[in-house]
Amino acid sequence: LTLETPGGRRNLRIGEFLLVVLKITDSKLALAARKVMGNAYSPYSHLKVGAAILTSGGEGFSGCNVETAVFPVTMCAERSAISAAVSNGAKSIEKVVVVSSADEPLLPCGICLQTISEFARDENVRIVSIGANGQTVKHTLKKLFPSGSGVNRTIRSVTA
Ligand code: THU
């Protein structure tokens, strides 16, 4: 596995990598998000977005936005990252970091907030957004999506 550090690229064994990800910080998540942001497929909006999530198990997963010519059929970076986590067996989100090519920090859309809420460890999960010039805003999930856990609880109870 390759890890990008301020000192350059390092190739790490899985065990070493896991030790490193245990110590993941916001800046490491931002670095991971920025790396996949370069792979964004956004020929329609021209907005590049990368997201990285830290799971409760201390693993990091990242994803970029993927658009199609049918505009509503678009995958946001946040949901790409969550899909990567769930596909690899991780279902508890601790933190989300979003970076983009826009000057202003971007906040997750409503669909992504619902998806984050589904897997959030609790409503105090931190959502960190970083703009192209480094401007950073930090929110909690409950601030951005106050009705989230209530909505999920209600729907789970009526569909049980
Ligand atoms: N987008 C994201 O990937 N995440 C956000 O938080 C906001 C918006 C993407 C979706 C679409 O590809 C483009 O940005 C413009 O909406």
Is position 78 annotated as part of the catalytic site? yes
Q: Is the CB of 144 under 6 A from ligand 1?
A: no
Q: Would you call 99 helix, strand, or coil by DSSP?
A: strand
H helices present in 54-147, as ranges = 77-87, 110-119, 141-144
More confident residue, 2 or 133: 133
The model's confidence at residue 4, banded by pLDDT at 50, 70 and 90, is: confident
- The reported pLDDT for the residue numbered 24 is 54
Look at 12-16, 19-23, 41-45, 90-94 and tell me which has the smallest mean pLDDT. Answer: 19-23
Q: Which helix (H) or strand (E) holds 154?
A: helix 148-159
Helix (H, G, I), strand (E, B) or coil at 17: helix
DSSP 22-55: HT--HHHHHHHHHHHHTT-B-TTT---EEEEEEE
Q: Is the pLDDT of residue 21 over 60?
A: no
Q: CA torsion, points 66, 69, 72, 74, in degrees to nearest 10?
A: -10
**Residue 91 is encoded by which pair of tokens?**
């279902």
How many angstroms separate the alpha carbon of residue 60 from the centre of ligand 1? Answer: 20
Q: Which atom of ligand 1 is nearest to the CA of 64?
A: 3
Q: Is the CB of 80 under 6 A from ligand 1?
A: no
Counting ligand 1 atoms within 8 A of each CB, the residue from 68, 71, 76 with the most, and so the one to mutate, is: 76
Provide mean pLDDT across the span 126-141. Answer: 96
Q: What is the mean pLDDT of the chain?
A: 93
Per the CB < 8 A criterion, the answer to whether 82 and 116 are in contact is: yes
Q: How many residues does the chain have?
A: 160
Of 10-14, 99-103, 134-138, where does mean pLDDT reach its minimum?
10-14
Residue 141: which of 152, 156, 132 has the closest Cα?
152
pLDDT over 60 at 23, yes or no: no
Distance (Å) from CA 122 to ligand 1 centroid? 24
pLDDT in tens, 27-61: 899 999 999 999 999 999 999 999 999 999 999 99
Q: CB of 116 closer than 6 A to ligand 1?
A: no
- pTM (predicted TM-score): 0.86
The DSSP letter of residue 104 is: S
Is the CB of residue 97 below 6 angstroms from any atom belonging to ligand 1? Answer: no
Best residue among 41, 42, 47 to mutate for probing ligand 1's pocket (most ligand atoms within 8 Å of CB) is 47
Using the mean position of ligand 1's atoms as its centre, give its distance from the Cα of residue 133 in Å.
18
